[in-house]
Amino acid sequence: MGRRRSRTRLALARLWAYPLWCGIRYSNVGGVVADDVAWWITCIDDAELRGFDSYTQFAYLSGALGEFRTLAHFRLRQGPAVLRLVLRIVYRPSPTFILEADRIGPALFIQHGLGTIVTATSIGSRCWINQQVTIGHDAVGRPTLGDDVRVGAAAVVLGPITLHDGAKVGANATVIHDVGPGETVVAPLAKTLEPRRSDGDDGPVRAPR
Protein backbone atom coordinates (compact mmCIF):
# COMPACT_ATOMS: atom_id res chain seq x y z
CA MET A 1 0.00 0.00 0.00
CA GLY A 2 3.03 2.27 0.00
CA ARG A 3 2.71 3.12 -3.71
CA ARG A 4 0.67 6.22 -4.51
CA ARG A 5 -2.55 5.40 -6.31
CA SER A 6 -3.10 6.73 -9.82
CA ARG A 7 -5.54 9.64 -10.02
CA THR A 8 -6.85 8.22 -13.30
CA ARG A 9 -7.53 4.82 -11.74
CA LEU A 10 -9.26 6.41 -8.80
CA ALA A 11 -11.46 8.47 -11.12
CA LEU A 12 -12.37 5.31 -13.07
CA ALA A 13 -13.05 3.48 -9.80
CA ARG A 14 -15.41 6.24 -8.73
CA LEU A 15 -17.36 5.89 -11.99
CA TRP A 16 -17.34 2.08 -11.90
CA ALA A 17 -18.54 1.85 -8.29
CA TYR A 18 -21.37 4.36 -8.60
CA PRO A 19 -24.14 1.89 -9.60
CA LEU A 20 -23.19 -0.33 -6.64
CA TRP A 21 -23.37 2.66 -4.31
CA CYS A 22 -26.76 3.64 -5.77
CA GLY A 23 -28.02 0.09 -5.17
CA ILE A 24 -26.83 0.28 -1.58
CA ARG A 25 -28.53 3.63 -1.06
CA TYR A 26 -31.73 2.35 -2.71
CA SER A 27 -31.73 -0.66 -0.38
CA ASN A 28 -31.47 1.62 2.67
CA VAL A 29 -28.18 0.16 3.90
CA GLY A 30 -26.02 3.18 3.15
CA GLY A 31 -25.44 3.92 6.83
CA VAL A 32 -24.12 0.48 7.77
CA VAL A 33 -21.96 0.30 4.63
CA ALA A 34 -20.49 3.70 5.54
CA ASP A 35 -19.59 2.20 8.94
CA ASP A 36 -17.99 -0.74 7.14
CA VAL A 37 -15.94 1.59 4.96
CA ALA A 38 -14.73 3.64 7.92
CA TRP A 39 -13.70 0.49 9.80
CA TRP A 40 -11.84 -0.97 6.80
CA ILE A 41 -9.91 2.27 6.39
CA THR A 42 -9.03 2.21 10.10
CA CYS A 43 -7.88 -1.43 9.96
CA ILE A 44 -5.90 -1.05 6.73
CA ASP A 45 -4.24 2.01 8.29
CA ASP A 46 -2.99 3.60 5.08
CA ALA A 47 -2.36 7.35 5.22
CA GLU A 48 -3.30 7.95 1.59
CA LEU A 49 -6.61 6.10 1.92
CA ARG A 50 -7.43 8.05 5.07
CA GLY A 51 -7.05 11.26 3.07
CA PHE A 52 -9.74 10.32 0.53
CA ASP A 53 -13.38 11.34 0.88
CA SER A 54 -15.77 8.59 2.00
CA TYR A 55 -17.14 7.82 -1.47
CA THR A 56 -13.65 7.50 -2.97
CA GLN A 57 -12.76 5.15 -0.11
CA PHE A 58 -15.86 3.08 -0.93
CA ALA A 59 -14.99 3.05 -4.63
CA TYR A 60 -11.41 1.98 -3.94
CA LEU A 61 -12.45 -0.84 -1.61
CA SER A 62 -15.14 -2.02 -4.01
CA GLY A 63 -12.75 -2.15 -6.93
CA ALA A 64 -9.65 -3.51 -5.23
CA LEU A 65 -10.97 -6.00 -2.69
CA GLY A 66 -13.34 -8.87 -3.46
CA GLU A 67 -13.82 -9.45 0.27
CA PHE A 68 -15.35 -6.00 0.57
CA ARG A 69 -17.69 -6.71 -2.33
CA THR A 70 -18.79 -9.93 -0.61
CA LEU A 71 -19.66 -7.93 2.50
CA ALA A 72 -21.49 -5.35 0.38
CA HIS A 73 -23.63 -8.13 -1.15
CA PHE A 74 -24.45 -9.39 2.33
CA ARG A 75 -25.69 -5.90 3.21
CA LEU A 76 -27.83 -5.92 0.06
CA ARG A 77 -29.56 -9.22 0.88
CA GLN A 78 -32.84 -7.48 1.83
CA GLY A 79 -32.95 -5.46 -1.38
CA PRO A 80 -34.98 -6.27 -4.50
CA ALA A 81 -34.04 -9.64 -6.00
CA VAL A 82 -33.49 -8.32 -9.52
CA LEU A 83 -31.24 -5.53 -8.25
CA ARG A 84 -29.22 -8.00 -6.18
CA LEU A 85 -28.79 -10.33 -9.14
CA VAL A 86 -27.61 -7.60 -11.50
CA LEU A 87 -25.19 -6.11 -8.98
CA ARG A 88 -23.81 -9.56 -8.17
CA ILE A 89 -23.07 -10.17 -11.85
CA VAL A 90 -21.38 -6.80 -12.36
CA TYR A 91 -19.62 -6.59 -8.98
CA ARG A 92 -18.49 -10.14 -8.39
CA PRO A 93 -17.87 -11.21 -4.79
CA SER A 94 -14.69 -12.97 -3.75
CA PRO A 95 -14.73 -16.63 -4.88
CA THR A 96 -12.68 -17.69 -1.84
CA PHE A 97 -14.74 -16.03 0.90
CA ILE A 98 -18.12 -17.35 2.10
CA LEU A 99 -20.12 -15.10 4.42
CA GLU A 100 -23.40 -16.21 5.99
CA ALA A 101 -25.05 -15.02 9.19
CA ASP A 102 -28.47 -14.12 10.49
CA ARG A 103 -27.11 -10.72 11.49
CA ILE A 104 -23.87 -8.80 11.09
CA GLY A 105 -23.42 -5.54 12.96
CA PRO A 106 -21.81 -2.48 11.42
CA ALA A 107 -18.07 -2.44 10.78
CA LEU A 108 -16.85 -5.92 9.86
CA PHE A 109 -13.30 -6.16 8.48
CA ILE A 110 -12.05 -9.18 6.55
CA GLN A 111 -8.30 -9.20 6.01
CA HIS A 112 -7.43 -11.04 2.78
CA GLY A 113 -10.33 -13.50 3.00
CA LEU A 114 -8.51 -16.29 1.14
CA GLY A 115 -10.08 -19.67 1.93
CA THR A 116 -12.30 -18.11 4.59
CA ILE A 117 -15.70 -19.49 5.60
CA VAL A 118 -17.88 -17.58 8.04
CA THR A 119 -21.28 -19.08 8.89
CA ALA A 120 -22.34 -17.58 12.20
CA THR A 121 -25.57 -17.01 14.05
CA SER A 122 -24.62 -13.37 14.50
CA ILE A 123 -21.56 -11.13 14.40
CA GLY A 124 -21.27 -7.93 16.39
CA SER A 125 -19.69 -4.59 15.55
CA ARG A 126 -16.05 -3.75 14.82
CA CYS A 127 -14.95 -7.35 14.31
CA TRP A 128 -11.80 -8.42 12.43
CA ILE A 129 -11.42 -11.81 10.72
CA ASN A 130 -8.25 -12.94 8.98
CA GLN A 131 -7.58 -15.32 6.09
CA GLN A 132 -8.11 -19.11 6.04
CA VAL A 133 -10.47 -18.88 9.01
CA THR A 134 -13.36 -21.30 9.50
CA ILE A 135 -16.25 -20.10 11.64
CA GLY A 136 -19.03 -22.59 11.24
CA HIS A 137 -21.39 -25.39 12.11
CA ASP A 138 -21.01 -28.53 14.08
CA ALA A 139 -23.90 -30.98 14.44
CA VAL A 140 -25.62 -28.69 16.96
CA GLY A 141 -25.27 -25.11 15.76
CA ARG A 142 -23.20 -22.09 14.77
CA PRO A 143 -21.02 -19.63 16.69
CA THR A 144 -22.00 -16.16 17.90
CA LEU A 145 -19.45 -13.34 17.87
CA GLY A 146 -19.85 -10.28 20.08
CA ASP A 147 -18.47 -6.79 19.49
CA ASP A 148 -14.74 -6.07 18.96
CA VAL A 149 -13.88 -9.74 18.35
CA ARG A 150 -10.73 -10.64 16.41
CA VAL A 151 -10.04 -14.04 14.84
CA GLY A 152 -6.49 -14.73 13.62
CA ALA A 153 -5.33 -16.48 10.48
CA ALA A 154 -6.24 -20.16 10.02
CA ALA A 155 -8.24 -20.30 13.27
CA VAL A 156 -11.22 -22.66 13.55
CA VAL A 157 -14.29 -21.68 15.60
CA LEU A 158 -16.98 -24.35 15.65
CA GLY A 159 -20.39 -24.99 17.14
CA PRO A 160 -22.97 -23.08 19.18
CA ILE A 161 -20.38 -21.18 21.21
CA THR A 162 -19.95 -17.48 21.92
CA LEU A 163 -16.91 -15.31 21.45
CA HIS A 164 -17.90 -12.55 23.84
CA ASP A 165 -17.13 -8.84 23.44
CA GLY A 166 -13.42 -8.16 22.99
CA ALA A 167 -12.46 -11.83 22.65
CA LYS A 168 -9.38 -12.64 20.55
CA VAL A 169 -8.54 -15.94 18.88
CA GLY A 170 -4.91 -16.43 17.90
CA ALA A 171 -3.65 -17.84 14.62
CA ASN A 172 -4.21 -21.59 14.10
CA ALA A 173 -6.25 -21.96 17.30
CA THR A 174 -9.20 -24.35 17.38
CA VAL A 175 -12.03 -23.10 19.57
CA ILE A 176 -15.00 -25.25 20.61
CA HIS A 177 -15.86 -23.55 23.91
CA ASP A 178 -16.99 -20.03 24.83
CA VAL A 179 -14.34 -17.32 25.07
CA GLY A 180 -15.12 -14.77 27.77
CA PRO A 181 -15.16 -10.96 27.41
CA GLY A 182 -11.68 -9.63 26.72
CA GLU A 183 -10.08 -13.08 26.83
CA THR A 184 -7.43 -14.26 24.36
CA VAL A 185 -7.02 -17.90 23.34
CA VAL A 186 -4.07 -19.18 21.34
CA ALA A 187 -2.80 -22.40 19.82
CA PRO A 188 0.19 -24.21 21.38
CA LEU A 189 3.45 -22.58 20.33
CA ALA A 190 5.86 -24.52 18.15
CA LYS A 191 8.67 -26.14 20.16
CA THR A 192 12.04 -27.58 19.31
CA LEU A 193 12.27 -31.38 19.20
CA GLU A 194 15.40 -32.80 20.78
CA PRO A 195 17.31 -35.03 18.33
CA ARG A 196 17.17 -38.73 19.22
CA ARG A 197 20.33 -40.84 19.36
CA SER A 198 20.87 -44.53 18.71
CA ASP A 199 21.41 -47.01 21.57
CA GLY A 200 25.03 -45.97 22.08
CA ASP A 201 25.64 -42.55 23.58
CA ASP A 202 28.17 -41.78 20.88
CA GLY A 203 26.07 -43.06 18.04
CA PRO A 204 24.84 -40.98 15.10
CA VAL A 205 22.09 -38.47 15.65
CA ARG A 206 18.76 -39.46 14.09
CA ALA A 207 16.53 -36.94 12.46
CA PRO A 208 13.24 -36.39 14.32
CA ARG A 209 10.28 -38.29 12.89
Q: What pLDDT digit, counting tens, does each position of 57-102 carry?
A: 999 999 999 999 999 999 999 899 999 999 999 999 999 999 999 9
Same domain? 181 vs 126: yes
Quickly count helices (H) and strands (E) in the chain.
6, 14
- Judge whether 191 lies within some domain: no
Q: Interior CA angle at 171 toward 170 and 175, to 5°? A: 60
CATH number at residue 142: 2.160.10.10
CB atoms within 10 A of CB 201: 6
Q: State residue 186's pLDDT score.
A: 97
Q: State residue 189's pLDDT score.
A: 86
- Judge whether 141 lies within some domain: yes
Q: Which of 42, 63, 90 is the last residue of a domain?
A: 90
- Judge whether 193 lies within some domain: no
- Judge whether 203 lies within some domain: no
Q: Give yes or no for residue 197 having a pLDDT over 80.
A: no
Same domain? 78 vs 107: no
- Counting the structural domains of the chain, the total is 2
CA-CA distance, 11 to 27, in Å (whole number)?
A: 25
CA-CA distance, 152 to 106, in Å (whole number)?
A: 20
Q: pLDDT tens digit string along 107-127?
A: 999 999 999 999 999 999 999
Q: State residue 102's pLDDT score.
A: 96
Q: Which of 90, 107, 123 is the last residue of a domain?
A: 90
The strand ranges marked E within the chain are 97-104, 108-110, 116-123, 127-129, 134-136, 144-145, 150-151, 156-158, 162-163, 168-169, 174-175, 184-185, 196-197, 205-206
- Judge whether 148 lies within some domain: yes
Burial of residue 29 (number of CB atoms within 10 Å: 0-12, 13-18, 19+): buried
Q: Most confidently modeled of 3-12, 23-32, 194-203? A: 23-32
Same domain? 86 vs 127: no
Same domain? 61 vs 112: no
Same domain? 103 vs 180: yes
Residue-range definition of the domain harbouring residue 55 = 9-90
